[in-house]
Chain A
């Protein structure tokens, strides 16, 4: 849709930092675009990553510091990036991250794959879900996630987020069932399981230990 919005009106608090789902808000379909906000100095804006993983589309990425002051690190090089700085990471394999030097530092990230038509990243399908989490509307999150699960029952992220949502609504057996499914499909979710406070309501359950213990064993033997 055509329309307008101020960045501050689109910001969601997700996992302690601000996420601005620009692309999904406007329905932009020809490139990826999101923004990230760190409310305090020292806060993480862009977590370290590259664009080559199984869920990455080998994007080239343009970052623009819209507000505040950031420090980027690309392939180990530190880049001082006050407001108005563009950092363009051409190489999908380059490791990049950004940390705020000032409060309310905002970075817009734009991405696309050279030589390919754009398709939205898989993780972005869940943008509305993350919005429900941010607003603590867990019933709506569950409803949206169950619709996604009907389309892709073996998506580990959908299962993991369902585990979180059911844990937060104290539906322990469903939470454990989806957690089991998520780590069976992708053992990387084991680390998330151990660290995500959304799962605290099931963490002391013997089955939680059984799931994470089995997954740990499977991962170390593979």
Chain B
């Protein structure tokens, strides 16, 4: 086979992409190693009092297992609150609300997920997260290149156009933002509903050509 039989990487070598303004860092594991049978990511909270797993349900039906690789976190799992020092596993079935906040500096949580009974499909959001990670790290050109490549490779998917529209809006490119948003709405009218509530577009909302 042409691919290498194995890959090795240390947690410290993984990318650090900010996914919010609070300091939550996404550390792509699956993407780095080329895993295809299940999703794997790590999340790091460096300061030690910020969110390390966003509070969410798994809308796509993933069964998720979290492992506290370093530091300590408080998990919410359904109605329960769990103190989770390094070495703790937390399992969340798809319908269970889950989230975690770090309680020590340099807390890293691994998340492993896949959908029961189904062949694993690699989540496309990973590439969107990479692009906005570059943006939050101050590298606009890498972010643009990443989003543009994503849209070229997935021309029929409204989410790609929509996220590129967000990026254009964030970087104050009026024409680009409107053009991409129009394309997203053409592909799926729900893009309009999202845009109406998305603060990335706030400064464009009064523009006569703004479609949402």
Query: Does A134 count as interface, using CB distance less than 8 angstroms?
Result: no
Chain A interface bracket (under 10, 10 to 19, 20 to 34, 35 or more): 35 or more
Closest chain A CB from B91 CB (angstroms): 4
Q: Is the CB of B63 within 8 A of A28?
A: yes
Contact of A84 among B35, B69, B91 (CB under 8 A): B69
Please name all residues of chain B whose beta carbon is closer than 8 Å to the beta carbon of A93 when the two chains form the complex.
5
Q: Which of A7, A94, A118 contacts B88 (CB 8 A)?
A: A7
Give the chain A neighbours of B38 by CB distance below 8 A: 30-31, 62, 110, 112, 118
Given A8-B87, A66-B67, verify A2-B6 contact (CB < 8 Å): no
Given A30-B62, A85-B11, 12 more A-B residue pairs with CB atoms under 8 Å apart are A2-B93, A2-B98, A4-B82, A60-B36, A66-B67, A79-B8, A84-B12, A85-B8, A86-B9, A88-B35, A108-B67, A118-B37
Given A29-B117, A66-B67, A75-B6, A91 and B1 contact (CB-CB distance below 8 Å): yes
A82's partner among B10, B33, B40, B119 (CB-CB below 8 A) is B10
The CA of A165 and the CA of B74, in the complex, are separated in Å by 42
Contact with B along A63-94 (1 / 0, CB 8 A): 01011000000110101011011111111011
B6 touches A89 (CB 8 A): yes
**In whole angstroms, what is the CA distance A118 to B120 when docked?**
9
**Complexed CA–CA distance, A138 and B199 (Å):** 63
Asked if residues A30 and B115 are in contact (CB atoms below 8 Å), the reply is yes
A55 adjacent to chain B (CB < 8 Å): no
CB of A88 within 8 A of CB of B33, answer: yes
Residue among B8, B34, B84, B118 making CB contact with A4, cutoff 8 Å: B84
Find chain B residues with CB under 8 A from A85 CB: 8-11
Residues on the A chain within 8 Å of B148, using CB: none
In angstroms, Cα B92 to Cα A8, docked, is 20
Interface size in chain B (residues, C-beta < 8 A): 50
* Interchain CB contact (< 8 A) of A74 among B6, B78, B112, B114: B6
A112 to chain B: which residues have CB within 8 Å?
A: 37-38, 114, 120
Cross-interface CB contact of B11 among A7, A29, A59, A86, cutoff 8 Å: A86
Q: Which residues of A contact B19 (CB under 8 A)?
A: none
The docked-state distance in angstroms from the alpha carbon of A81 to that of B13 is: 13
Most chain B beta-carbon neighbours within 10 Å: one of A3, A4, A89, A111: A4
Judge if A217 is at the interface, Cβ distance under 8 Å: no
What is the CB-to-nearest-CB distance from B96 to chain A, in angstroms, rounded to a whole number? 4
- CB of B36 within 8 A of CB of A62, answer no
Asked if B48 is at the interface (CB within 8 A of a chain A CB), the reply is no
Is B212 positioned at the interface, with any CB of A under 8 Å from its CB? no
Interchain CB contact under 8 A, B10 and A114: no
5 A-B contact pairs sorted by A residue (CB < 8 Å): A28-B91, A30-B38, A31-B114, A60-B37, A90-B7
